[in-house]
Amino acid sequence: MLLVRQSLLQRWSCIGFSSATYTLIYKKSCRNVLLKHHCWKCPAVHSSIAFRKNRVRMSKGRGTGTSRQWKRSLEAISKFSRPHTVRGTLLAAISGCLRAILEGGFFVSKSLLFRALLGVIALILGNIFIVGINQIYDIDVDKVNKPFLPLAAREMELSLAWLVVVISGICGVAITRVCFSRLIFYLYISGLSFGALYSLPPFRLRRWPWMAAITISFVRGFLLNFGVYHATKAALGLRFQWNPIIVFTACFMTIYACVIALAKDLPDVQGDKQYRVETFAAKMGVEKVVKMVTMLLLSNYIFAIVVGLVAPYGTFSRKTMLLTHSCLALLWIRESKRLQPNNKQSLIAFYRSIWNLFYAEYCILPFL
């Protein structure tokens, strides 16, 4: 080793390096060889690099965890809002607005569209308020009947559920108070009140089957359709007047809402009996309630066909009235024949078909 060092010193001296320079270069070369071949790392440098890498990794992990948590919360809130009921409310709002606009023959301005959008938002918020309170006070029953709901499945904290309900109620009331007439505001408040009393103790209107059916029929059948139509007329600057179409819509959809109120408990008999919740299905039996629901909705379609036949010419679009409701009646007969009363999945599909026909009716109403 010493001979190598001396030979190198002689060569580098010829080049012009001093002995001090050579010594410095030699020491650095030896250090690099040690680092390369023995993988030695300076503790201070290594620890600082590792800290920086770990900090980046932790920040990435924290960001990913936060985004996943937000995504799960949004999915839980979406399930909490019961999308099938939101769709019904949305279609009711669009249908009522279109009906009023087509009758008035007015050009839709940007201000009217903005006001209509606020009205739709208020209705959806009211819907979330009502179904949210129902889930909060029915957690134990839903663990048996609807274990997929976010509170029953523990996908959502109770505090978040209350936050969503309170914000929905306050914002919905504020929108209707600021943007609409006093009558619409009172109708909105009464709808929220009845919807809340349906589930809130000590009232719990759902304890009595007839009160539960009347509450749902009144809120989703009459208040919703009358309120949307009246609000649109007021926004257009037109005086509200009862006419055959709005009377038919209010009657037909009120009966339909009663059908929904009767059918909604068909798949939930097991949990309702376990927690002593009195419903028509739990008291009378599934088969009797199925027959009642089938006949009531079929009678509703027959009522629509008869009205289309006997109404004076020009009151309705007779071809649309007869053809559409005849087709829907046939579809309903087919769905009722497919039902297996002892099969829960079949009952769920049966209840889903009622909602699908409900959506179809709202698509038809503006063009009657």
- Tell me the pLDDT tens digit for each residue of 281-319: 999 999 999 999 999 999 999 999 999 999 998 889 999
Within this chain, do residues 161 and 35 fall inside the same structural domain, yes or no? no
Within this chain, do residues 136 and 250 fall inside the same structural domain, yes or no? yes
Within this chain, do residues 189 and 95 fall inside the same structural domain, yes or no? yes
Cα 315 to its chain centre, rounded Å, is: 37
Within this chain, do residues 216 and 318 fall inside the same structural domain, yes or no? yes
Question: Does residue 200 lie in a domain region?
Answer: yes
What's residue 242's pLDDT?
85
Within this chain, do residues 45 and 93 fall inside the same structural domain, yes or no? no
From 17, 35, 64, give the residue that closes a domain: 64
Domain region containing 57: 2-64
Question: Does residue 102 lie in a domain region?
Answer: yes
Number of folded domains that form the chain:
2
Judge if the upstream peptide bond of residue 147 is cis by omega within 30 degrees of 0.
no
Question: Does residue 72 lie in a domain region?
Answer: no
Question: Does residue 53 lie in a domain region?
Answer: yes
Within this chain, do residues 223 and 325 fall inside the same structural domain, yes or no? yes
Within this chain, do residues 60 and 102 fall inside the same structural domain, yes or no? no
Within this chain, do residues 90 and 59 fall inside the same structural domain, yes or no? no
What's residue 53's pLDDT?
46
From 33, 64, 95, give the residue that closes a domain: 64
80-111 burial: b if 16+ Cβ within 10 Å, else e: bbbeebbbbbbbbbbbbbbbbbebeeeeeeee
Within this chain, do residues 60 and 114 fall inside the same structural domain, yes or no? no
Question: Does residue 70 lie in a domain region?
Answer: no
C-alpha Rg value of the chain to the nearest Å: 35
Which stretches of the chain score pLDDT less than 70?
1-65, 105-107
What's residue 49's pLDDT?
46
User: What span, in angstroms and rounded, lies between the C-alpha atoms of 182 and 224?
Assistant: 16
pTM given for the model = 0.80
Question: Does residue 219 lie in a domain region?
Answer: yes
Degrees, nearest 5: CA angle 218-224-228: 150
Within this chain, do residues 101 and 128 fall inside the same structural domain, yes or no? yes
Question: Does residue 74 lie in a domain region?
Answer: no
Within this chain, do residues 132 and 174 fall inside the same structural domain, yes or no? yes
Within this chain, do residues 158 and 295 fall inside the same structural domain, yes or no? yes
